[in-house]
Amino acid sequence: MWIYQKQLQYPVNIQRGDVGMAKFLFAQYGGPDSELSASQQYLAQRFTMPTPETKALLNDIGTEEMAHWEILGAMIYQLTKNATPDEMKAAGLGDYYATRGKGVFQQSPSGEPWTSAYIQVLNDPIANLSNDMAAEQKARAAYERLMSLTNDASIIAPLAFLRAREVVHFQRFGEALMDIQNVCVKNYAKG
């Protein structure tokens, strides 16, 4: 179970509304390679991981990705909270406003609801961890794209933090994959 701690993992203090940029941030809030995808993939995979270490690793990172998801949600909220309907419309979010108002819904920038079809949860630890490494690379690339779409330092700072965390996760998944492969080899040697 989880205890909520009333604090964001990284502070979000958006300096000025930017509805258009809010839209792009949905990519990492509810898109295919989003923090939601990552947290759901890791937290579900952990049930069947074969060692306590890999269970704990997926649990830790999955829980952190939830905090990342919350950061994105807070950014979208701050970027849009003062926008009028006309401003939403002018910035290309008229469709969004018509459908969801200013709710912070789990979707991609172009409006597709999040689906677990984006992720995979198996009980093959090698396939799972390979898929997790790929997830981190896709998220890393996503943050690089998002940073290229704005010059606002108050937006870039949390994105840079999140990007850096994905690189760390990638490395930790890589180490776990080597450990698991060693376990497999040893079990095989034992017969």
Which residues inside 13-32 make contact with its own copies, applying CB under 8 A?
20, 23-27, 30-32
State whether the Cα torsion 164-27-69-30 is positive or negative: negative
Q: Does 40 bind its own copies (CB under 8 A)?
A: yes
Q: Is 173 in the site for its own copies (CB under 8 A)?
A: no
Using CB under 8 A, which of the segments 11-19, 86-94, 155-163, 179-187 binds its own copies? 86-94
Q: Which two tokens stand for residue 78?
A: 């701050």
Helix axes of 19-30 and 52-80: crossing angle, nearest 10 degrees? 160
Closest approach, Cβ 58 to its own copies, in A, equals 11
Among 11, 15, 16, 145, binds its own copies (CB under 8 A): 145
CB of 178 to its own copies, least distance (A): 14
Give the shortest CB-129-to-its own copies separation in angstroms.
9
The answer to the question of residue 42 lying near its own copies (CB under 8 A) is no
**Minimum distance between the CB of residue 189 and its own copies, rounded to whole angstroms?**
20
Closest CA to 61 of 89, 88, 84, 41: 41
**If binding is defined by CB under 8 A, does position 98 make contact with its own copies?**
yes
Q: Which of residues 45-74 bind its own copies (CB under 8 A)?
A: 45, 47-48, 59-60, 63, 66-67, 70, 73-74
**How far apart are the C-alpha atoms of 154 and 85, rounded to whole Å?**
24
For residue 10, the SS3 value is: coil
Q: What contacts 171, CB < 8 A, 6 or more positions away?
A: none
Q: How many chain residues interact with its own copies (CB under 8 A)?
A: 86
10: exposed, middle or buried (C-beta count within 10 Å: 0-12, 13-18, 19+)?
A: middle
Q: Which two tokens stand for residue 36?
A: 């939601």
Closest separation in Å from C-beta 156 to its own copies: 14
Task: Report the residue number, 38 or 118, with the smaller CB distance to its own copies.
Answer: 118
Among 17, 53, 77, 161, which residue interacts with its own copies (rule: CB under 8 A)?
77
Burial (CB count within 10 angstroms: exposed 0-12, middle 13-18, buried 19+), residue 162: buried
Q: How far is the CB of 76 from its own copies (least distance, A)?
A: 8
Residue owning tokens 């933090």:
161
